[in-house]
Amino acid sequence: GKLLNELLKQAGIDHEEDVYFCNVIKCRPPKNRKPTKKEINIHKPWLLQQIKLIDPKFIILTGSTAVKTILEVNNPISSMRGKWIKKDGREIMTIFHPSYLLRFSSKETEKPYYLTLQDLKKVSSKLYAL
């Protein structure tokens, strides 16, 4: 959470005022493993209801589990990130998961951390243009 909050701050997004966080599944799987397809299918209706109730203008999908669940695709994030995707009347941006960024923490240009920050700056620009 700390890394994502730091990235949001660097991008100019107030994570306390302008962001609502939710997870694909509502509990942590044992040993913090990726959730199974069955677990995702059990929790997905709650996630979709949350999105419906919050009614966000934009959604940021962090990581492959979120991308696969919401967009129902198997594309790698590296091929989708940085582009706005429209679905169900909402605009969606996919970004690398913070745990991935911790493993590949270089802040050099064109590395995952830098790219994620650029993607979040796009979100910030669109958010504050409203």
How far apart, in whole angstroms, are the C-alpha atoms of residue 39 and residue 24? Answer: 9
How far apart, in whole angstroms, are the C-alpha atoms of residue 112 and residue 101? Answer: 6
* Angle subtended at Cα 9 by Cα 46 and Cα 130, rounded to the nearest 5 degrees: 70
Looking at residue 90, what DSSP letter applies?
A: E
Whether residue 83 contacts residue 52, with contact meaning beta carbons closer than 8 Å, is answered with no
pLDDT digit string (tens) for 23-81? Answer: 999 888 998 899 999 999 999 999 999 999 999 989 999 999 999 999 999 999 999 99
How far apart, in whole angstroms, are the C-alpha atoms of residue 113 and residue 125? Answer: 19
pLDDT digit string (tens) for 102-127? Answer: 998 888 999 999 999 999 999 999 99
